[in-house]
Structure 1
Amino acid sequence: MDADYDLLTELTEAHGAPGHEDRIREVVRRELADVADEIRTDAMGNVVATIEGATNPDYEVAVAAHMDEIGFMVKHVTDEGFLRLDALGGWDPRVLRAQRVTVHAAEGDLDGVIGSPPPHTMSEEERESKDEVEDCYVDLGRDGDEVRERVSVGDVVTMEQDTRRLGDTVTGKSMDDRVCLFAVLEAAKRIDPDVTVHVAATVQEEVGLRGATALGVDLDPDLAVALDVTVANDIPQFSDASKHVTELGEGAAIKLKDGSVITNPKVRKRLESLAETAGIAHQPEVLPAGGTDTAGFQNTHGAKPVAAISVPLRYMHTVTEAAHVNDVDATVELLAAFLDSETGEHDYRL
């Protein structure tokens, strides 16, 4: 991996549920302090680091990746001290049983585990029942009085997981979207743009693209590019290659569409041309469902040309997601090349 693996590890192991991205915000501000001409944070918590353009500063490009990860909020504390949860983002409940979590209480983090009954004590009906997030509970290993003293309704909960290299992949929690946030930070350190670039780390993407939608109004850029992960179903359960969407190790994915946006064809073609000229591995992405911050910029403050670069990801929205190191490097290279070559003179009108 060409880029800073230690930074990627720090980002992915940090905790930041939607609306509670404080720890990620600190890393973003630190990493961009020597790069940006100005760094500011808005009322929602979006971070915007502005790099002034050298020759055409009036033309503005927004580049966004979101800071938040899927998590939970405590909605009830039982008399016995178990925590009931409300989902923040789209979880697959099947993967949650017996997983370690961190409860972010006012006086400090607490370790916990999502309970799971032993299978040999379950009835046939219980074994066949469908898992739901509302059925999950967190066991803190403490009695009810102590838990109620330390945990409040509204405290957030995130998964507890480390980041590891497995061959050519990087695995861990919150690769969605910290791997793309990492790519944005790395690209920002490499560019000397002609136009003004707003590097945006957004909030609350996992609960409806909320940060990017607000930011689209506040920034009103001439061009926007969002980075997010995308599906890589190149695994044994999907023998039909048409359902893979992308393949790990085949390069950065240039989005044509997802469930929230159809990208601007002219911007997309420029990305493809840059990748081919520079020899950067890339692949097309047609994602049937799901949305990204790209949509938050497309028409929030009038029509805008938008594009999206994606990092292929296996096991998305689970406890352990996996990205290929070459795809991450390709994403950094492609984004940096795109920003450095933007003059503000391309006509993206259709």
Structure 2
Amino acid sequence: MDGMKEMDEIQRLLERLSNAHGISGREGSIQEILREEMGHLVDDVRIDNLGNLVATRRGRRPSVMIAAHIDEIGLMTKYVDEKGFIRFVTIGGWFDQTLLNQRVIIHADSGPIWGVIGSKPPHVMTPEDRKKPIEVKDMFVDAGCESQEEALGLGIKPGTPMSIDRTFARLAGDRVTGKAFDNRAGVVMMIEALKRTRTESTIFAVGTVQEEVGLKGARTSAFGLSPDVALATDVTIPGDHPGIDKKDSPLEIGKGPVVIIADASGRGIITTSKVVSWLAETAKEFEIPVQMEVSGGGTTDATAIQLTREGIHTGVISVATRYIHSPVEVLSLKDVDACAELIARALETAERYFKPD
């Protein structure tokens, strides 16, 4: 496959996954896409008790786990009031103002229903009201229902998931925008790496669930698989646009994969020197530019994997992505391609660094 076709395939995959819907704990539609896109690349695919999709390509040791979380942040119905308006809770880390006046898809028993997140109109706000940010507790979803009975009849009830109605779009150059790049971009990286690698090691390609609400799927799947080494794929925050300074993040879109040295000020992962050397030296050998990250912010599935059993050698390869945890995330397709290439080559060099006993 030449470079242009690879980029087209990355865009196709990312668009398909970004436009699909699967909030934390309700990732079934994403599992089905992974079965279709990855099934022919592995020996078997199964869903474990928590809902993680585990695809295995059998080989020799060291065994390598690739973890890409498949859930997205979203909403869940709390109750429907007597007039048919839907009150909800957030699932995952939303900034309240990002949600205001968004259109949503309610994944009801009767099928998808569209709604809008409403609040008090600015025309009737007092001057004091206008100075205050509107909180989620004061928002609601209007699906057009005129009564609680109508909503319940459509299958909108406590526990019904909702996701943002936003679709993938191409920007200038190789930049694209869409929802849920966190972490459907990481899923693309995992699939593309499987296509490209020539490793003879056993690979566990895992679409983990419920990362956004506590790294849950990574913890259980890593315990069950007990790999010799693991790589988590995810997105991370660049400091290359207005509103954020380089002192907060020196990363940039278009400058290649990001290797995490430490995140969450060490409360998350502190990647061991052995793993950092593996990824950095592999990148140098194959002339893949990389960026190194030490951050005080969030963490990834790697934190849970690293602390499984007696400890697992674990690293993170991320793609710099603007406006994370919004419906308009932005990244570079070339960065996604380079991340997939680094993972593919790291799978091939893992045996040098993690020889089994």
Normalising by structure 1, we get a TM-score of 0.95
- 2:261 equivalent to 1:253: no
Residue 333 of structure 1: aligned partner = 341
Checking the alignment, whether the CA contact within 8 Å between 2:62 and 2:355 is kept in structure 1 is no
Residue 160 of structure 2: aligned partner = 155
Deviation for aligned residue 1:200 = 0.5
Distance 1:61 1:131 in 2: 46
- 2:142 equivalent to 1:142: no
Unaligned residue ranges in structure 1 (runs of 5+)? none
Deviation for aligned residue 1:296 = 1.5
Segment of structure 1 superposing worse, 340-349 or 116-125: 340-349
RMSD between superposed Cα atoms in Å: 1.6
* Superposed CA offset, 1:152-172 (max 9, x none): 111001001010111121100
Question: Which of the numbers 189, 193, 205 marks the counterpart of 1:187?
Answer: 193
Residue 96 of structure 2: aligned partner = 93
- 2:232 equivalent to 1:229: no
Distance 2:210 2:42 in 1: 23
Give, as a single letter, the amino acid of the residue that structure 1 aligns with 2:51: G
Residue 330 of structure 2: aligned partner = 322
Give, as a single letter, the amino acid of the residue that structure 2 aligns with 1:91: W
Secondary structure, aligned partner of 1:311:
strand
Taking a change above 3 Å as real, the CA distance of residues 48 and 321 of structure 1, as seen in their structure-2 partners, is: same
Distance 2:67 2:190 in 1: 8
Distance 1:289 1:178 in 2: 20
Deviation for aligned residue 1:39 = 1.0
Segment of structure 1 superposing worse, 334-343 or 88-97: 334-343
Question: Which of the numbers 71, 74, 78 marks the counterpart of 1:75?
Answer: 78
Normalising by structure 2, we get a TM-score of 0.93
Unaligned residue ranges in structure 2 (runs of 5+)? none
- 2:181 equivalent to 1:178: no
Checking the alignment, whether the CA contact within 8 Å between 1:252 and 1:331 is kept in structure 2 is yes
* Superposed CA offset, 1:46-93 (max 9, x none): 01111112xxx1421111000000001100101111111111100001
Give, as a single letter, the amino acid of the residue that structure 2 aligns with 1:223: V
Residue 42 of structure 2: aligned partner = 36
Distance 2:283 2:135 in 1: 43
Secondary structure, aligned partner of 1:43:
coil
* Superposed CA offset, 1:309-331 (max 9, x none): 00111001112111111211110
Map 1:299-318 to 2 at 5 A: 299-318=307-326
* Superposed CA offset, 1:314-349 (max 9, x none): 001112111111211110110111112222653699
Deviation for aligned residue 1:19 = 0.6
Checking the alignment, whether the CA contact within 8 Å between 2:251 and 2:293 is kept in structure 1 is yes
Residue 220 of structure 2: aligned partner = 214
Map 1:99-138 to 2 at 5 A: 99-138=102-141
Distance 1:301 1:286 in 2: 25
Taking a change above 3 Å as real, the CA distance of residues 84 and 297 of structure 1, as seen in their structure-2 partners, is: same
Checking the alignment, whether the CA contact within 8 Å between 1:194 and 1:343 is kept in structure 2 is no
Deviation for aligned residue 1:304 = 1.4
Checking the alignment, whether the CA contact within 8 Å between 2:43 and 2:56 is kept in structure 1 is yes
Q: Aligned residues: percent identity?
A: 39
Checking the alignment, whether the CA contact within 8 Å between 1:194 and 1:342 is kept in structure 2 is no
Distance 2:218 2:135 in 1: 29
Distance 1:281 1:236 in 2: 24
Secondary structure, aligned partner of 1:34:
helix
- 2:58 equivalent to 1:52: yes
Distance 1:245 1:16 in 2: 31
Residue 289 of structure 1: aligned partner = 297
Give, as a single letter, the amino acid of the residue that structure 2 aligns with 1:250: K
Segment of structure 1 superposing worse, 117-126 or 292-301: 117-126
Distance 2:353 2:277 in 1: 16
Checking the alignment, whether the CA contact within 8 Å between 1:258 and 1:290 is kept in structure 2 is yes
Checking the alignment, whether the CA contact within 8 Å between 2:239 and 2:248 is kept in structure 1 is yes
Taking a change above 3 Å as real, the CA distance of residues 282 and 103 of structure 1, as seen in their structure-2 partners, is: same
Would you say how many aligned residue pairs link Structure 1 and Structure 2? 345
Secondary structure, aligned partner of 1:241:
coil
Distance 1:327 1:133 in 2: 34
Checking the alignment, whether the CA contact within 8 Å between 2:62 and 2:356 is kept in structure 1 is no
Deviation for aligned residue 1:148 = 2.6
Taking a change above 3 Å as real, the CA distance of residues 58 and 338 of structure 1, as seen in their structure-2 partners, is: closer
Checking the alignment, whether the CA contact within 8 Å between 2:229 and 2:354 is kept in structure 1 is no
Distance 1:58 1:250 in 2: 33
Distance 1:275 1:176 in 2: 23
Deviation for aligned residue 1:277 = 2.2
